[in-house]
Amino acid sequence: MLRYARALNHIRPIQPIARCLSTSVPPVTNKPPTGIVFMNMGGPAKSEDTYDFLRRLFQDGDLIPLGPFQLIVGKLIAKRRTPEITEKYNEIGGGSPIRYWSEYQCERVCKRLDEICPESAPHKPYVAFRYARPLTEETLEQMKKDGVKRAVAFSQYPQWSALTSASSVHELFRQTQVVDPERSILWTMIDRWPKAKCLVDPFAKLIQQKLDEFPEDIRDKVVIMFSAHSLPMQIVNRGDSYPAEVAASVYAVMEKLKFKNPYRLVWQSKVGPKAWLGGATSTIVEKLETRDSIPGFVLVPIAFTSDHIETLHEIDIELMEEVKNPQKIKRADSLNDNEEFILGLADLVKDHLKSGELYSNQMELDWELSKDYTSNTFSHPRELFGDHQGDAK
């Protein structure tokens, strides 16, 4: 609770790192730091920042295309929705804790990397949010001041989507053109990790903890309900990889749990009148929670790496107020300060640094499928990642 309270107050492959071994030797400090940049959508740290957050979000044509009057219409929508969303942030403590948790996790990851990967030490933590502070350009400016020459863009969306992960990547490119036109920072990226051990194993344990709160005689009949942020069907129909990757995360967790409980993947946070991925979390839960054959539910925020408004308000408040039998519903804890998760994130970065990869072999296909709907960005991902002096192919 103390941590939560504090949160509310504030063209060549890269040469792999030669070795990353466990060691207690302090990291070499006379080298430029390796930047580890946690990238996410972000959220207003204080409720009074809600309008600025929403304005940036609705003015992002990659996320919500509104035509030639994007900036004007986006601003009007943000102004109209601000009172309602501000009230929700007030109800969860006066703001989003996502900045606190992102900074906490990234700092812990870097400390761990200094121990297990001395060849790329020292590692310096950064957070770059798409719609809230610290914004991408603010982070880039700080990285240049700190003398960073190599950086890993670490997407905190475990499952890739053109509307989330890709939007952050495009903004990184745009702001690099402005803040770092000489391309002094050499970038690579961890762009997805839907079946990573650090995601699967902690979630399985957190689910089991909630299952153990049910009486033993009904425990195996409790439904595990994996809830992820939904996606407009027009994006799904482009070939977006998000639904398949979220499903892969769900299946991997259930494998760890030996499929001993019934489960479903459901979708939350639909916005607007257009078709989105369903069934909706609230609809499915409300349909089943009155049935005697369903003794209970464990809700799992499978696509989120920490608490924010979608868990703390949409599930913990809105959903629980709508159901008739709230005593049948428990939510698995979010990853937040989970030590196994954080140490596993460090292992992911270590493996990435050793691999010499620019990004996953899926990213170029993602780009081919979405580039016709994206503006003012690179013509190939290698323009951002890898040897900036080479010609993109």
Using one digit for the tens of pLDDT, what is the confidence trace for 234-251? 999 999 999 999 999 999
- Per the domain annotation, does 249 fall within a domain? yes
- Residue type at 53? F
38 and 183 together in one domain = yes
Give the pair of three-digit tokens for residue 33.
């730091």
Q: From CA 237, how far away is CA 164, in angstroms rounded?
A: 16
Weakest-pLDDT range from 8-12, 13-17, 182-186, 240-244: 8-12
Q: How many CA atoms lie within 13 A of 267 on its CB side?
A: 16
246 and 161 together in one domain = no
Find the domain containing 201 and state its range.
197-331
Contact (Cβ atoms closer than 8 angstroms) between residue 345 and residue 125? no
- Per the domain annotation, does 97 fall within a domain? yes
- Residue type at 130? R
DSSP 162-223: TTTHHHHHHHHHHHHHHH-TT--SEEEEE---TT-HHHHHHHHHHHHHHHTTS-TTTGGGSE
45 and 113 together in one domain = yes
253 and 373 together in one domain = no
- Per the domain annotation, does 390 fall within a domain? no
- Per the domain annotation, does 361 fall within a domain? yes
- pLDDT for 249 equals 98
Contact (Cβ atoms closer than 8 angstroms) between residue 36 and residue 122? no
DSSP 221-272: GSEEEEEEE--BHHHHTTT-SHHHHHHHHHHHHHHHTTT-S-EEEEEE---S
293 and 306 together in one domain = yes
Contact (Cβ atoms closer than 8 angstroms) between residue 62 and residue 164? no
39 and 172 together in one domain = yes
Give the pair of three-digit tokens for residue 120.
């790329």
The CATH number that applies at residue 164 is 3.40.50.1400
189 and 309 together in one domain = no
Residue 188 pLDDT more than 90? Answer: yes
Q: Comparing C-alpha atoms, which of 138, 143, 168, 159 is closest to residue 42? A: 168
Residue 226's DSSP bridge partners are 265, 300
Q: Comparing C-alpha atoms, which of 301, 390, 364, 345 is closest to residue 38? A: 345
| Full-model pTM | 0.91
Neighbours of 287 (CB within 10 A): 11
- Per the domain annotation, does 152 fall within a domain? yes
Q: What is the pLDDT of residues 278-291, one digit of tens each?
A: 999 999 999 999 99
CA angle 59, 60, 64 (to 5 degrees): 95
- Per the domain annotation, does 389 fall within a domain? no
- Per the domain annotation, does 36 fall within a domain? yes
289 and 231 together in one domain = yes
**What is the tally of structural domains in the chain?**
2
- Per the domain annotation, does 311 fall within a domain? yes
Residue 22 pLDDT more than 50? Answer: no
Contact (Cβ atoms closer than 8 angstroms) between residue 38 and residue 65? no
145 and 239 together in one domain = no
- pLDDT for 19 equals 44
256 and 286 together in one domain = yes
- pLDDT for 63 equals 79
Catalytic annotation, residues: 347
Percent of the chain with pLDDT over 90: 85
256 and 284 together in one domain = yes
175 and 265 together in one domain = no
